[in-house]
């Protein structure tokens, strides 16, 4: 197969590129390099430097290659920023995604895997969240992803588009080769910030909120390894070969870790203290997000291989210790 990976220079996308190559398929990366890194794309993989909002450039890429499917990782994905700059989120995550879907339709490419998020659920009403859980986003980021899930459902009926939206819980960890990992600038995610604090890098770790209704007052999240996310995407492509329509699956490990628990696990894995201070809550954060991924296991045949927090942290730590490109 030949797969167009939009956002393939980014964190999850660059792990996806390697996974697709390792499984013997061809890849073209399309990325505006706003948050991704040229150096994250393996040598020999075509990288088109472009924005998915650029209809002309997209049309040229679809004319040049015959793609079997698209994987779409391009998005703004910071909850707090989406609260303060919603236009940017709706323009990029909604408007530009529709431009990509239009280009696919024009080129008769009818399979897409879309990166969605646990943020579509808002404040959970159950301990674990399955696909039937109500979707009531509490920030523009989650809302923008939910809008596209709706667009995909409508496109299935109107144009016969096949799609799988994968709602990631908290993507984490790094490839075992140590050459790619989570490198945002500024970094807002917990695990890289914890490991940077261990190394004395960055501005110092702040724990956002200690008065949540959780076992220790800090937010609880379900961390899932990027390579496991990648395997789910490949299974989703196979799934669409067998099934017509628009599908959504939750991807997590079904176990929640509080911020304090992540810090304690990182101290164990690194053998070093994690200096941190306590701070106010961050806007837009729900107290707990933990997935039920039974449907992905049953329907896609998904089996996470790196489900243990220690393994996720160890892979990220290995990457943090490498020299940077």
Catalytic machinery residues? 141
**Looking at 188-196, 224-232, 303-311, 312-320, which segment touches ligand UDP (CB under 6 A)?**
188-196
In the chain, count of helices (H) and strands (E)? 11, 14
Q: Looking at 19, 73, 208, 319, which residue binds ligand UDP (CB under 6 A)?
A: 208
Q: Looking at 47, 113, 205, 224, which residue binds ligand UDP (CB under 6 A)?
A: 205
Query: Which residues are within 8 A (CB) of 214 and not within 5 positions of it... i.e. 6 or more apart?
Result: 220, 258, 287, 288
The yes or no reply on residue 79 touching ligand UDP (CB under 6 A) is yes
Query: Which residues are within 8 A (CB) of 324 and not within 5 positions of it... i.e. 6 or more apart?
Result: 183
Q: Are strands 205-208 and 2-6 parallel, antiparallel or unpaired?
A: unpaired
**Per-residue tokens: 136:** 């009531």
The yes or no reply on residue 91 touching ligand UDP (CB under 6 A) is no
List the interface residues with ligand UDP, window 21-60 (CB under 6 A). none
CB of 110 to ligand UDP, least distance (A): 31
CB of 205 to ligand UDP, least distance (A): 6
The yes or no reply on residue 111 touching ligand UDP (CB under 6 A) is no
Q: Looking at 193, 248, 270, 288, which residue binds ligand UDP (CB under 6 A)?
A: 193
Instruction: Work out the burial of residue 214: count CB atoms within 10 Å of its CB; fewer than 13 is exposed, 13-18 middle, 19 or more buried.
Output: middle
* Binding-residue total with ligand UDP (CB under 6 A): 15
What CA–CA distances, in Å, run from 135 to 63, 118, 150, 164, 181?
Answer: 37, 9, 11, 17, 30
Here's the x/- map for ligand UDP, 252-271, by CB under 6 A: it reads as -------x------------
The yes or no reply on residue 274 touching ligand UDP (CB under 6 A) is no
Comparing CB distances to ligand UDP, the nearer of 162 and 167 is 167
Comparing CB distances to ligand UDP, the nearer of 109 and 207 is 207
The yes or no reply on residue 207 touching ligand UDP (CB under 6 A) is yes
Looking at 125-191, which runs of residues are DSSP E strands? Answer: 162-168, 170-172
Q: Looking at 189, 196, 272, 308, which residue binds ligand UDP (CB under 6 A)?
A: 189
Give kind and range of the element (H or E) at residue 227: helix 226-242
d(CA 232, CA 229) in angstroms, rounded, equals: 5
List the interface residues with ligand UDP, window 216-245 (CB under 6 A). 219, 221
What CA–CA distances, in Å, run from 192 to 18, 107, 123?
Answer: 21, 39, 25
The yes or no reply on residue 155 touching ligand UDP (CB under 6 A) is no
In this structure, the dihedral spanned by the alpha carbons of residues 290, 286, 274 and 310, taken in order and rounded to 10 degrees, is 10
Comparing CB distances to ligand UDP, the nearer of 41 and 74 is 74
Instruction: Give the DSSP letter of residue 7.
Output: T
CB of 250 to ligand UDP, least distance (A): 14
Nearest Cα neighbor of 249 from 296, 317, 313 is 296
Contact positions toward ligand UDP, by CB under 6 A? 79, 170, 188-190, 193, 205-208, 219, 221, 259, 282, 285
């Amino acid at each position: 197969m030949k797969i167009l990976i939009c956002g393939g220079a980014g964190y999850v996308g660059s792990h996806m590129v390697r996974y697709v190559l390792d499984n013997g398929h061809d890849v073209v990366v399309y990325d505006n390099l706003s948050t991704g890194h040229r150096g994250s794309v393996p040598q020999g993989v075509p990288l088109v430097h472009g924005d998915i909002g650029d209809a002309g450039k997209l049309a040229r890429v679809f004319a040049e290659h015959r793609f079997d499917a698209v994987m779409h990782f391009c998005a703004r994905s910071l909850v707090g920023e989406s609260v303060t700059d919603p236009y940017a989120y709706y323009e990029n995550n909604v408007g530009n995604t529709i431009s990509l879907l239009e280009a696919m339709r024009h080129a008769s490419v009818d399979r897409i895997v879309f990166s969605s998020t646990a943020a579509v659920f808002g404040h959970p009403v159950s301990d674990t969240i399955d696909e039937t859980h109500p979707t009531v986003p509490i920030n523009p980021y989650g809302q923008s992803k939910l809008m596209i899930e709706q667009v995909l459902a409508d496109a299935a009926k109107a144009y016969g588009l096949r799609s799988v939206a994968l709602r990631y819980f908290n993507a984490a960890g790094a490839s075992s080769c140590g050459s790619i990992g989570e490198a945002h600038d500024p970094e807002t995610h917990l695990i890289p910030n914890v490991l940077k604090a261990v190394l004395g890098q960055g501005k110092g770790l702040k724990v956002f909120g200690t008065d949540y209704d959780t076992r220790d007052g800090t937010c609880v999240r379900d961390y899932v390894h990027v390579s496991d996310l990648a395997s789910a995407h490949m299974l989703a492509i196979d799934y669409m070969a067998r099934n017509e329509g628009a599908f959504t699956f939750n991807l997590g490990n079904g176990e929640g870790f509080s911020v304090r628990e992540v810090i304690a696990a990182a101290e164990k894995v690194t053998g070093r203290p994690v200096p941190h201070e306590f701070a106010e809550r961050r806007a837009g954060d729900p107290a707990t997000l933990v997935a039920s991924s039974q449907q992905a296991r049953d329907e896609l045949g998904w089996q996470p291989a790196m489900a243990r927090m220690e393994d996720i942290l160890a892979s990220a730590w290995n990457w943090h210790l490498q020299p940077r490109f």
